Structure 1
Amino acid sequence: MINQGKHSILGVNIAAVDYEFAVATIVAAAERQQPCAVSALAVHGVMTGVLDPVQARRLNGLDWVVPDGQPVRWALGWLYRHWLPDRVYGPTLTLRVAQAFAERGLGVYLYGSRPEVLARFAHNLKQRFPGLVIAGAEASKFRRLSEIERLDLAERIKASGAQAVFVGLGCPRQEVWAYEYRELLNMPILAVGAAFDFHAGTLSQAPKVLQDSGLEWLYRLVQEPRRLWRRYVILNPLYLWNIALQLFGWKRFIPQMPNGQEGIESIG
């Protein structure tokens, strides 16, 4: 089990942890009925914090932001010499948490995506983990909820008996959701994005060789060029440029916290 602390990657606190630690932490919070907001971030997610200070504060207000993308994992090595054996990939983390919940009889609420994707995702999870309790499922309305709607949703989730929520709204909406609902729900919230589509079978995952080499973005770009080209063609080079600035000490990236305070660059 690896936990080497949280470290600033371009001003976003990324946790240098492995799957075992992440799953154990989420399960413990679920059993204790404690808030635990978790996001698995790739380059695009980190860059949303770089380009938007408000989003950076939200990300740093989550309990754990784990390195979903290989370039984010590599940055922990380049900048802090924390060479993790693997990234903590959101879709894989989703399955490992689901398995742990199934073994313990814990329930999960699924929120986000479209009704047809949600139905297939729930079905496939149950097929794979028969002991998993799907306490409820609700598709996204694809708009900002009113305050009354937010409170009603939180009450529905709590009344379902779920011990955690899997959120698939896409980045950055799901991180905003996790941040805003953290205090409303005394349970883990996992912002896992494309895991819904991948495990529903509506979107194919990149071959492992591309994933391991940090080229998953290229596979996804070929799949959805019109939606994703700006994300990858513009943000990937910008990410690498800023990592170089941080690595050589040409620019400091100090995490900004939700309370307006500055964090420290490396939280051991």
Structure 2
Amino acid sequence: MHIEKSHQLRSPSKKNLFTVHYSLVNYESASDVLVEHASQNNSYGLSALAVHGLIESVWSKELNEKVNKIDMVVPDGQPVRWALNYFHKAKLSDRVYGPTLTLYVLKKASEQNLKVFLYGSKKSTLVKFEAFIRNNYPGVQICGIHADRFRDATEEEDLEDIQKINESGAHIVLVGRGCPRQERWVADHLGKVNAVMMAVGAAFDFHAGNVSQAPSWMQNLGLEWLYRLVKEPKRLWRRYLYTNSYFIYLFIKYSLKPLIIRTK
């Protein structure tokens, strides 16, 4: 049974960046809203969207529509934050990085003894991530785990997944399917899964200890992509070459737009 959202819950303001509607939040405000919805078992979606996911959403109308269905899209990357501050005077003091936001949410969920379901990634990663949560956030109840099939579920499988999650009593579903597969999953399950669904794929590998995070100075300078590229060049070179370049192109294009209009 789907539980309707309370109209009393706060809705963060949003700004359009290159056709994607980002919520203007920080770690505290975002995690407060998420845990508030979670405690009421509202069907609510979050995506932590960095440059890669933003540009994929610009290129694909279908993905763009799905991403913009998600209740809260947060600026995961520093370049996204910089662009929001530049174009909208958003005054965001920091990005809202998915793996870090996950820790904020887990801390608050632990204080309220909320139930968390882990959906996606590999079984070995889920086991390590579950252990990490139990060790660091003892108040959190892990009510279920489901490894990724690494393919689209059949209609029957999808219905089974929805039933499994809802019957577990999950308040929060952490979704780790990689961008943009996880964004599509969250958008497609709004109103079906009675929980807060957080698309935070990288959090699984980072907190499971599979992948090391970039040093804080690189993160602050928006160079995390470079750190990850050095670690996984074969997998990531094409992604960063095309999406980063196109982000720069769009930034310049939109920056020049007012000037072009004034000179016409």
Structure 2 length-normalised TM: 0.92
Deviations 1:105-147 (A, max 9, x none): 1010000000001100010111111111111111001111011
Aligned-partner residue type, residue 95 of structure 1: L
Change beyond 3 A, Cα 1:162–1:178: same
Partner amino acid, structure 1, of 2:95? R
Q: Secondary structure, in 3 states, of the residue corresponding to 1:40?
A: strand
- Other-structure match for 1:65: 73
The residue type paired with residue 34 of structure 1 is N
Q: Is the 8 A contact 2:56 2:243 kept in 1?
A: no
Q: Match for 1:238 among 231, 246, 252?
A: 246
Q: 2:178 aligns with which of 170, 173, 181?
A: 170
Which shows bigger deviation, 88-97 or 235-244? 235-244
Partner amino acid for 2:252?
A: A
Aligned-partner Cα distance in 2 for 1:60–1:50: 11
Q: Which residue of 1 aligns with 2:221?
A: 213
- State the secondary structure of the residue aligned to 1:7: strand
Deviation of 1:85 (Å): 1.1
1:88 matched residue in structure 2: 96
Q: Distance in 1 between matches of 2:236 and 2:56?
A: 14
TM-aligned CA deviation for residue 247 of structure 1: 2.4
CA deviation after TM superposition for structure 1 residue 248, in Å: 2.4
After superposition, the CA RMSD in angstroms is: 1.5
Residue aligning to 2:105: 97
What residue in structure 2 maps to residue 256 of structure 1?
A: none
The answer to whether structure 1 residue 184 and structure 2 residue 192 are counterparts is yes
Quote the Cα distance in structure 2 between the aligned partners of 1:139 and 1:3: 32
State the Cα deviation string for residues 20-59 of structure 1 (Å, max 9, x = none): 1111111111112211100001000101111101100001
Question: Which residue of 112, 135, 139 corresponds with 2:143?
Answer: 135
- Write out aligned runs for 1:1-268 (5 A): 5-249=13-257
Q: Judge conservation of contact 1:4–1:82 (CA < 8 Å) in 2.
A: no
Residues 210-243 of structure 1, C-alpha deviations (whole Å, 9 max, x = no match): 0000000000001111110011112101101112
Instruction: Report 1 or 2 for greater relative contact order, CA contacts < 8 Å, sequence distance ≥ 6.
Output: 1
Paired residues of 2:126 and 2:208 also in contact (CA < 8 A): yes
Deviation at 1:4, TM superposition (A): 6.6
In 2: Cα distance, 1:192 partner to 1:49 partner: 16
Which runs of structure 1 show a deviation greater than 4 angstroms over 4 or more consecutive aligned residues?
none
> Tell me, which stretches of 5 or more residues in structure 2 are unaligned?
1-9, 260-264
From the superposition, tell whether residues 4 and 187 of structure 1 become closer, same or farther in structure 2 (CA, over 3 Å): closer
TM-score, normalised to structure 1, is: 0.91
Judged with a 3 Å threshold, the aligned counterparts in structure 2 of structure 1 residues 147 and 250 are, in CA distance, closer, same or farther, namely farther
Output the CA distance in 2 between the equivalents of 1:50 and 1:63: 18
